[in-house]
Amino acid sequence: MTETLVQINNVRKVYQRDAFEVPVLNGITVDVPRGDFLALMGPSGSGKTTLLNLIAGIDRPTGGSITVDGREISRFNESALASWRARHVGFIFQLYNLIPVLNAFENVELPLLLTKLSKKQRRQHVESALNIVGLGDRMFHYPRQLSGGQEQRVAIARAVVTDPTIIVADEPTGDLDAKNAQETLDLLQQLNEEFEKTIVMVTHDPKAAQHAKRTLHLEKGLLVESVEEQAAEA
């Protein structure tokens, strides 16, 4: 039986916009097994990015609970959430969000600065993460010296360098051309299959979702269907 890594139980999220309350998630219940590669799809405003943010611990639900690896993160305060994210979550953003004044090596090293690893250990981890994404020869290039695809691969290296429990990706191919998008998705698939990383990915692109093991569709803050990846069924 597959172990459940993320348990989302009747989660609601309401944003306060001036005098108005805007409900975004209206009672989502879903489990994400360890080693899953889950795609969240849905139209704009359906709540998929909000759900991703809640799973990643960068936002807190208005109601319900979220448990990751046995810990109910929805009860954590901000400081505890920050420490938890540093140890357990790897982030991949649509616009890569690398720090422009740091080179690839230094960008990937950032999450490790929050650990007790020595400089030598940090270097070993960074080098191996950059080698996994195929950028071992671009370590000292700055973001402006890299292509979009390369920047996203550096971002992926930054996401995996701490060996996180879960990787969250928000439209990771949204700003890439077809070739680089394909390479990025292959890389995510490789991380999932070879390194058994649990990945939750938000995407608009059905082709991108095909790389996931499962796809969940959201609409108006509700889960409307769940589609098992064909390969997984096989």
Partner 1 sequence: MKFAKLVRRNLFRSKVRSLLMIALMGAIFFLVATLIQILAAFESLNTGGAGDRLVVQSAFSLATMLPYAHEQKIRQVPGVVDVAKSQWLGGYYKERRNTFAILSVDADKFKTVFPEHKLDDAENAAFVRDRQGAIAGADLMKRFGWKLGDRITLHREIFPFDPEVTIRAVGHHPVQGSILFVHQDYLNETLKWNRVGTFWVKVADPNQMAGISQQIDAAFKNSEDPTETFTEKEFNRQFVNMMGNIKLLFSSISLCSIFMTVLLAAITMSMAARERVTEVAVLKAIGFGRRLILGLMLTEFVITTLAGFAVGVGGAALLYANVDVAKYTMGYLPNFHIAPATAAICAAAALAVGLVAGGLPSMKSANLSVVDGLRKVV
- Write out the residues near partner 1 by the rule CB under 8 A: 53, 56, 58-59, 78-79, 82-83, 85-87, 89, 91, 93-95, 97, 99-102, 106, 110-111, 113-114, 119, 158, 170
Q: How far is the CB of 91 from partner 1 (least distance, A)?
A: 5
Nearer to partner 1, 158 or 217 (CB): 158
Nearer to partner 1, 58 or 227 (CB): 58
Residue 76 φ/ψ, nearest 5 degrees = -70, 150
Residues facing 92 on adjacent strands? 169
Cβ atoms of 224 and 48 closer than 8 Å: no
State whether the Cα torsion 31-201-92-61 is positive or negative: negative
Q: How far is the CB of 122 from partner 1 (least distance, A)?
A: 8
At 16, the amino acid letter reads Q
Q: How far is the CB of 92 from partner 1 (least distance, A)?
A: 11
Residues facing 20 on adjacent strands? 17
Nearer to partner 1, 96 or 229 (CB): 96
Q: How far is the CB of 56 from partner 1 (least distance, A)?
A: 7
Residue 128 φ/ψ, nearest 5 degrees = -70, -35
Nearer to partner 1, 83 or 190 (CB): 83
**Helix H or strand E segment including 118:** none
Rg of the chain in Å (alpha carbons): 17
